[in-house]
Amino acid sequence: MKLGAFSISLTVKNLKTSKEFYEKLGFAVFAGEEKMKYLILKNGNSIIGLFEGMFEKNIITFNPGWDEDANTLESFDDVRKIQNKLKETDVNLIAEVDEKTTGPGSIVLADPDGNQILIDQHI
């Protein structure tokens, strides 16, 4: 299964404070806007999303169709294909994508410890 780019989406109390902290670790803003209450930071191939007031918990995120620089991949598994594979292996989904659609879509699941995983396709 090709899940695409990996990142961790962190829920933060103060976006500016968190941004400054991760910049000290060598991360730089890659995308997002402070006024929209989210920033995506990169350090090499490592990606961290900082989200103020958007989520209750941290989320593991995969982006089918994208590499670590948000470039479109030539070949990738569509989120609907991933959803079907997960259903075949009895993975419970918290949220599903409409299989009758094409293009952007997302699914949400949780690992055995309750960590949420977002598979979020933008193309």
Per-residue confidence of the chain (123 residues) as pLDDT tens digits?
999 999 999 999 999 999 999 999 999 999 999 999 999 999 999 999 999 999 999 999 999 999 999 999 999 999 999 999 999 999 999 999 999 999 999 999 999 989 999 999 999
Number of domains present in the structure of the chain: 1
The parent domain of residue 59 ranges over 5-121
Q: How far apart are CA 60 and CA 9, in angstroms?
A: 6
Q: What is the CATH number of the domain that holds 74?
A: 3.10.180.10
Instruction: List b or e across 74-103, with b for residues whose CB sees 16 or more CB atoms inside 10 angstroms.
Output: eebbbbbebbeebeeeeeeeeebbeeeeee
> How do beta strands 28-33 and 5-12 pair?
unpaired
Q: Give pTM, 2 decimals.
A: 0.91
Backbone angles phi, psi at 118, to 5 degrees: -105, 125
At position 102, the amino acid (one-letter code) is: T
At position 87, the amino acid (one-letter code) is: K
